[in-house]
Amino acid sequence: MGQRLFSEYSVAPVPRNLIPSLDPSKPQVLWLGCCDSGYDETTTLDLFPDEMIVVRNIGNLALGTDLTWASAVQHAVDNLQVDHIIVCGHYGCGIIKTDPVVGIHFPWQKEVDSLLSTHQKELENLSVDDRNRYLVQVNVVKQMQLVRDLLEVIYPGEHRRIDIHGFLYDRVRDRADRILLNR
């Protein structure tokens, strides 16, 4: 099973058939990734490029103030009827890390500062590399929650199920794992 990191989630490999390919011309997935990940999304799930809508931004942040992201969610859910939203972070991220990033400003830096503040106690006992890895993980969990919150604002009380997945890409191992939330 997955490696247990702390009480909120664990990490396990992404099964290639997590989202089965249904129709190469119908998008099934909205993917929120980081602009510096260098990752080919379709290789993780064996989907055709047309089955995925990809939005990349700084640190794969699902900020409500980011109209590109919010518009992509609404379009993907309303018009394209996607059933899956994936938030994918990556280890070695140039934005989601414990040392300050030069040139990044509000609201992105505020989100990173908030993560650092919220998880300061857990981060203190880790090596620098482990701190950054942990921060990437908790960032994906946080962004999954923000996506869920955005969907509840846009679609209050609606019962259509949209699965929100959290993935972690490791460039060194050329592998993606998924976050399994412990409920």
143: tokens are: 């962004």
Q: Are strands 29-34 and 84-90 parallel, antiparallel or unpaired?
A: parallel
Please tell me the distance from the alpha carbon of residue 60 to that of residue 132, in angstroms, as a whole number: 15
Residue 75 annotated as binding? no
Given a cut of 50, whether residue 4 has pLDDT beyond it is: no
Residue 36 annotated as binding? yes
* Burial (0-12, 13-18, 19+ Cβ within 10 Å), 33: buried
End-to-end CA distance of the chain: 16
- Greatest pairwise CA separation for the chain in angstroms: 48
Query: Homologous superfamily of 3-17+25-181 in CATH?
Result: Carbonic anhydrase (3.40.1050.10)
Residue 90 annotated as binding? yes
pLDDT at position 159 is 66
Kindly report, residue by residue over 121-158, the tens digit of the pLDDT: 999 999 988 999 999 999 999 999 999 988 887 777 77
Residue 88 annotated as binding? no
pTM over 0.95: no
Q: Show me where the domains of the chain are located.
A: 3-17+25-181
